[in-house]
Amino acid sequence: MTLRWVPGWNGLTEPEAVSYVAAVEAADGQELEFGVARAINDFVVGCKQDKIWDAIKACCILAGAKTLDGALVPLVGTAPTNNNFVSGDYDRETGLIGDGSTKYLTQITPVPLQNSVHQAIYLSSAATAVAADFETHLAQWPASGTNGRTQISTNTTQTFTRSRETTGDIASSVGLKFIGTDRSAVGEYRRRILGANATISASSTGVPNTTAHVFNNPGLGQYSNARLAFYSIGESLDLAALDTRVSNLITAIGAAIP
């Protein structure tokens, strides 16, 4: 397929965005709208300006592409493995929806660090589990034991997170859009929900293996029936900055789709 996107042409300035858009179009077998491509470019530009781009080690934009295959092209890192999702599960504006029982993605990441980590998702529609049950949207666990567990889970009223630790913490709130966790020290981590950060006192206890699961927690079988438009995994970064960039990205994609 001939590249129609080159750095500096038609406003696309970032090589990473150019390569990603070309790969999505190849997977889709058709061209993206210019507004969608520009939104992706602006996301990369913004992350670089905020000095958070290099901390993102595995990332998929589960929106914008015209097909499910295109949506599973990675922006950063390797492509996730699709377990049971079909084309009807995908919406260009709002992302990919789980079924709460069989559908999930597996994502290989670089070797995790114990005290430098973030996980983030963009939740387009909420999980339907009620307290005290949870549905897990993103998890990375050790091969055995409890040390180093890392996850983002929700039900209809609560958010449960772990960040390289054993016990986890429950917030009595849950919101659509961006949810993220970030650890940059041994004794605590930050959680961002509804546009606000909270500091969680929880010491890290180890690291998980290199396989992350999206829409599923392999240790507990907590499948998600929510809809996700984005996820990222990597090293410590500014959650507020990532929230702004991801929220702008998903909004701009929605506005650009006819």
Q: pLDDT by residue for the chain (258 residues), tens digit each?
A: 455 766 655 668 999 999 999 999 999 999 999 999 999 999 999 999 999 999 999 999 999 999 999 999 999 999 999 999 999 999 999 999 999 999 999 999 999 999 999 999 999 999 999 998 999 999 999 989 999 999 999 999 999 999 999 999 999 999 899 999 999 999 999 999 999 999 999 999 999 999 999 999 988 889 999 999 999 999 999 999 999 999 999 999 999 999
- Confidence (pLDDT) at 10: 62
Judged by DSSP in three states, 207 sits in: coil
Quick one: CATH architecture of 55-237?
Sandwich (2.60)
d(CA 36, CA 12): 11
Q: Is 230 left (phi over 0), alpha (psi -120 to 50) or beta?
A: beta
In which order are the strands placed within the sheet that holds 150-154?
A: 81-83, 104-108, 211-214, 135-140, 150-154, 159-162, 169-171
pLDDT of the residue at 158 = 97
The radius of gyration computed from the CA coordinates of the chain, to the nearest angstrom, equals 17
pTM: predicted TM-score of the whole model, two decimal places:
0.95
Sign for the CA dihedral angle at 218, 153, 97, 232 comes to negative
Give the whole-angstrom CA distance, residue 95 versus residue 122.
Answer: 9
Helix (H) or strand (E) holding 159: strand 159-162
**37 touches 21 (CB < 8 A):** yes
Q: Quote the pLDDT of residue 5.
A: 67
Q: How far apart are CA 125 and CA 117, in angstroms?
A: 25
pLDDT at 30: 95
Q: What share of the chain is helix, strand, coil (3-state, %, to 5)?
A: 20, 30, 45
Say if residues 40 and 61 touch (Cβ distance below 8 Å): yes
